[in-house]
Structure 1
């Protein structure tokens, strides 16, 4: 399983950072674009996307790993 991908607000845009990384993997102008990038990385690495709001608090999570007991996703 790879590193969880965090979508965080940075300066004038949104960044995708692997868990524990100081440098951003990718920076985009919108949160939506950053989430799409993070999802692709998480799918390849079988990890999670952790979406932070403007205030830095976790807003949402999506798992793309091999969870033997996945929760029933109510969003989709």
Structure 2
């Protein structure tokens, strides 16, 4: 499963694959970036770490939801 980070870059928000340089989603606001991330992740399975403006991780989302490790019973 691929990992992504949604974080503020300058005055905008960008979603990048972990270790990647080029954003796959770029938006002016965090809300807009989250919406675009949902659309992008419909075609790509992975984990998205959403950061606060100060860089700390706010939350983590898994796409599709059925792949969320907390929901898989062992």
Q: Deviations over 1:8-64 (max 9, x none)?
A: 101111111111101212221100111112222223222122100011110011111
Ranges of 4+ aligned residues in structure 1 off by more than 3 Å: none
Structure 1 regions of 5+ residues with no counterpart?
72-76
1:67 CA drift (Å) = 4.0
User: RMSD value over aligned CA atoms?
Assistant: 2.0
| Bigger strand fraction | 2
> TM-score of the superposition, structure 1-length normalised?
0.75
Shift of 1:69: 5.0
1:46 aligns with 2:45: yes
Asked if the contact 1:42/1:64 (under 8 Å) is kept, the reply is: yes
Question: What is the total number of aligned residue pairs between the two structures?
Answer: 70
